[in-house]
Structure 1
């Protein structure tokens, strides 16, 4: 978000052009909370910026501030936390679709008679912000989804039952 001399803020969300369905969902979400606001689609190289202007964006996103997200606190207000707890599945889905992926992990085992390979699906979530990563892991905990931290900014969901649980509601990016 950025402001102007009129104190009008711009919500700007960049969505990869590979996922036009997520662009539509993004615009629908903006429309749901600010139905009278105009939504613009700005085509850029490989992505589309979906933007909308309002003086009310700071009320809905009080975490916004100068600098990079991972260099400042990203704590939810109590009303936001209530929404995240009420809508944990869509919250996790949104986080994965923005900063995560579902992929197939291939593992090679050296065995007598030649290498053996096996594959399994897994989800990854990557974010530089420790606060946002904690929001993600707290939400997984509420859903009973096992996860492991691959490193300081990557969270992996790889257990069969945990992947199946996420598959129930995350769905593919489209």
Structure 2
């Protein structure tokens, strides 16, 4: 339906570092069509060479908002493992209890790397959403040997820019991986009578001090009040319990589903 010049113009915009999503919005051409043209017409894509970070002028990943969410999921429940010939597999573990989370994780992976396939691997009580690419370590430079809490986890400048632009997506990814929304209860004596009252509360739990700091720094930037909680004398949980802050979290994050 589109002539070759139209296709080349769209690909030229992508080659400038623009995301497929933004080019699709500007031109009115579907993202699926542009992605298909990249595979068939762009020799760099066809040979599987550059991801956005591997271009001569590194650019932002496809769909930065989806990337911010996927980054949160990866820091919580994700891992990258190397396969043969330099191919890497990104895995995000999602509990069967939250089918909406599984769908959101798959959608984010597809948005970040639209030219790569995504699959689900069922295990007891959970689903691993997986995708293979040579470039996952480029997109997640926090990948390295050992467990995340046993090594430094810092964002690179380009990642921090994305988080600053899409902070709620990043927070949502962290909560969806290592967080929860619960209902707390307490009792209070009123007019001589003990009464029970309930209130919502968010928790984020991660052993890594660096990952907790990324979470709380982002909350600070958003104006969300939080407190740290310890387990056996060691920092472990981050709690959001004040009514106004819970209201912000409910508006932008919400419970898992």
**Normalised-by-shorter TM-score class:** over 0.9
* Unmatched segments (≥5 aa) in structure 1: none
Larger Rg belongs to: 2
Determine the C-alpha separation between the residues in 2 that align with 1:20 and 1:95.
17
CA contact (8 A) 2:181 2:254 kept: no
Structure 2 length as normaliser, TM-score?
0.65
**Structure 1: 4+ residue segments shifted above 6 A:** none
Determine the C-alpha separation between the residues in 2 that align with 1:119 and 1:4.
49
Q: Which structure carries more strand by proportion? A: 1
Determine the C-alpha separation between the residues in 2 that align with 1:171 and 1:122.
11
Q: Does 1:120 find its partner at 2:203? A: no
Q: Which structure carries more helix by proportion? A: 2
Structure having greater relative contact order (Cα 8 Å, sep ≥ 6): 1
Match of 2:137 among 52, 58, 62: 58
Match of 1:36 among 106, 115, 133: 115
Tell me what 2:240 maps to.
Answer: 157
Determine the C-alpha separation between the residues in 2 that align with 1:29 and 1:59.
17
How large is the Cα RMSD of the aligned pairs?
1.3
Q: Aligned residues, how many?
A: 174
1:109: Cα distance to partner? 3.4
Match of 1:108 among 167, 182, 187: 187
Determine the C-alpha separation between the residues in 1 that align with 2:147 and 2:161.
25
CA contact (8 A) 2:90 2:130 kept: yes
* Unmatched segments (≥5 aa) in structure 2: 1-79
